[in-house]
């Protein structure tokens, strides 16, 4: 029964040691009776707890069965041991701003499973992202991708998605833009007013998206903005159903329209504007928004411009994040991969540290904060008994080097190995 699955794992180069332990999870089969123990690493069970040196994480039936010091955790007979000496162990990471718009994801229903698994590794799981929030793609296609992952046929992260973004009337990019960006041609709802925004939100939410995404103001020509009343109407529809609203701000005007319109998550800083002053920060704080800084994106976005302009753009974003941290603002990690072609998040970690975040704050933005924001903290975000075994094993200790967060040895989701850097 396990054979096709085993064969696929062998092709992916997952260590033979683990095959009998991890194969078959998440496929509706009875999981193997053998547990897996990650032994000997430094365990950061959550951003606020003391690290456990020489720790053990015991995984059984897709869940965390125990965590503690080596010797203090009893291992069931026959437990497979994965030596993690010298490595660091954390909860699985969230990337709360990704896109499945590139041509490589379409048609998700027909791309061979090993190819999809490999592509998901290259963009996400090799960097420890066991959960992602897709904040604009073609929902019908992303839904199929998610179904194939959840059926166990494709190995990949948990996916939440907004589906198509709501675009201001007249703001849809010219047809050549998706082609230039390497995207599958897409259709997006353009809305002019509250009634159209509500109707577009209803249609998307009825089709099963997890949140809505509002393009409050376009970033590139043609420049157009959503009226605040349109934002309010779409947000109200999402909130009525217990769903969140994300917004792309672009500049101060778009940011304030989003915040005042009731949006929950701001998906970028706004380097096109000047610094965020006290009144902007107070409005954001009062509304309880979460911020996804996407600092690494800014150098990428204007990579054809002079380096001095690139430096200014990045520094604006870093200063905005610093100001947001100073008022105690909430931060979610996200990089905009799938739009940004550079998948490696290492630079994002370095820039977050430059803005003043220590490794525990960065870890929170990757784990507990998104799990809480998205209503999943009963299952995800920490290494704790009973939670899903979504776990990242890093080659280095992120307390000593912030870029270690991008240096992943293994990634597990529901106890199943999604990625190993060992061939």
Q: Please list, in sequence order, all residues whose beta carbon lies within 8 angstroms of the beta carbon of residue 32, skipping any fewer than 6 positions away.
A: 20, 21, 23, 24
The residues in 332-351 that bind Zn ion, with binding defined as CB under 5 A, are 336, 339
Nearest CB to Zn ion, comparing residues 292 and 383? 292
Point out the residue whose Cβ comes nearest to Zn ion.
336
From the CB of 198, what's the least distance to Zn ion, in Å? 23
Please calculate the CA angle 14-92-135 and round it to the nearest 5 degrees.
Answer: 110
From the CB of 339, what's the least distance to Zn ion, in Å? 5
From the CB of 336, what's the least distance to Zn ion, in Å? 4
Number of residues that bind Zn ion (CB under 5 A): 2
The residues in 277-336 that bind Zn ion, with binding defined as CB under 5 A, are 336
Nearest CB to Zn ion, comparing residues 246 and 410? 246
From the CB of 213, what's the least distance to Zn ion, in Å? 9
Q: Please list, in sequence order, all residues whose beta carbon lies within 8 angstroms of the beta carbon of residue 328, skipping any fewer than 6 positions away.
A: 285
From the CB of 261, what's the least distance to Zn ion, in Å? 19
Is 230 within 8 Å of 194 (Cβ atoms)?
Answer: yes
| CB atoms near residue 347 (< 10 Å) | 18
CA torsion sign for 203, 264, 318, 91 is negative
Is 7 within 8 Å of 345 (Cβ atoms)?
Answer: no
DSSP 43-94: EE-SSSSPPEEEEEEEEETTEEEEEEETTTSPPPTT-EEEE-TT-EEEEPEE
Q: How many residues does the chain have?
A: 423
Is 8 within 8 Å of 113 (Cβ atoms)?
Answer: yes
Nearest CB to Zn ion, comparing residues 336 and 414? 336
Q: At what angle do helices 228-240 and 252-260 cross, to 10 degrees?
A: 40
Nearest CB to Zn ion, comparing residues 265 and 392? 265
Cα–Cα distance, 351 to 348 (Å, whole number): 5
Q: In 3D, which of 162, 168, 193 has the Cα closest to residue 253?
A: 168
Nearest CB to Zn ion, comparing residues 127 and 339? 339
Cα 206 to chain center, whole Å? 24
Is 231 within 8 Å of 262 (Cβ atoms)?
Answer: yes
Nearest CB to Zn ion, comparing residues 345 and 415? 345
From the CB of 97, what's the least distance to Zn ion, in Å? 6
102 is a site residue for Zn ion (CB under 5 A): no
From the CB of 340, what's the least distance to Zn ion, in Å? 8
Q: Which two tokens stand for residue 35?
A: 């547990």
From the CB of 162, what's the least distance to Zn ion, in Å? 10
Nearest CB to Zn ion, comparing residues 366 and 404? 366
From the CB of 265, what's the least distance to Zn ion, in Å? 12
Nearest CB to Zn ion, comparing residues 137 and 367? 137
Nearest CB to Zn ion, comparing residues 339 and 349? 339
Binding residues (CB under 5 A) for Zn ion: these are 336, 339
């Amino acid at each position: 029964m396990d054979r096709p699955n085993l064969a696929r794992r062998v092709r992916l180069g997952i260590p033979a040691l683990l095959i009998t332990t991890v194969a078959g999870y998440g496929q509706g089969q009875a999981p193997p009776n053998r547990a897996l123990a990650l032994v000997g690493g430094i365990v950061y069970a959550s951003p606020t707890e003391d690290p456990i040196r020489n720790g053990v994480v015991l995984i059984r039936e897709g869940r965390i069965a125990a965590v503690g010091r080596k010797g203090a955790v009893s291992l069931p007979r026959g437990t497979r041991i994965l030596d993690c000496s010298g490595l660091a162990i954390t909860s699985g990471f969230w990337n709360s701003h990704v896109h499945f718009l590139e041509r490589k994801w379409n048609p998700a229903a027909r791309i061979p499973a090993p190819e999809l698994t490999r592509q998901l590794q290259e963009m996400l799981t090799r960097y420890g992202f066991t959960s992602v929030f897709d904040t604009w793609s073609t929902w019908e296609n992303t839904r199929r991708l998610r179904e194939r992952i959840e059926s166990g046929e494709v190995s990949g992260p948990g996916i939440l998605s907004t589906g198509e973004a709501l675009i201001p009337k007249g703001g849809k990019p010219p047809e050549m833009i998706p082609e230039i960006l390497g995207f599958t041609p897409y259709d997006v709802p353009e809305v002019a007013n509250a009634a159209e925004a509500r109707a577009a939100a209803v249609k998307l939410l009825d089709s099963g998206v997890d949140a809505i995404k509002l393009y409050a103001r376009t970033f590139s020509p043609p420049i157009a903005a959503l009226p605040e009343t349109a934002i309010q109407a779409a947000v109200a529809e999402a909130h009525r159903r217990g769903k969140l609203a994300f917004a792309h701000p672009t500049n101060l005007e778009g940011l304030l329209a989003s915040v005042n319109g009731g949006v929950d998550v701001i998906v970028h800083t706004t380097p096109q504007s000047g610094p965020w002053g006290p009144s902007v920060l107070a409005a954001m704080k009062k509304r309880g928004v979460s911020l996804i800084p996407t600092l690494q994106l800014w150098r990428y976005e204007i990579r054809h411009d002079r380096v001095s302009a690139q430096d200014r753009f990045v520094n604006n974003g870093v200063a905005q994040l610093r100001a947001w941290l100073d008022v105690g603002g909430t931060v979610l990690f996200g990089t905009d991969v799938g739009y940004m072609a550079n998948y490696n998040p290492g630079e994002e970690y370095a820039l977050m540290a430059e803005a003043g975040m220590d490794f525990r704050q960065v870890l929170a933005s990757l784990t507990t904060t998104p799990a809480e924001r998205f209503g999943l903290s009963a299952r995800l975000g920490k290494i704790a008994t009973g939670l899903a075994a979504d776990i990242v094993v890093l080659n280095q200790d992120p307390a000593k080097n912030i870029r270690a967060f991008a240096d992943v040895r293994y990634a597990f989701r529901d106890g199943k190995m999604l990625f190993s850097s060992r061939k």
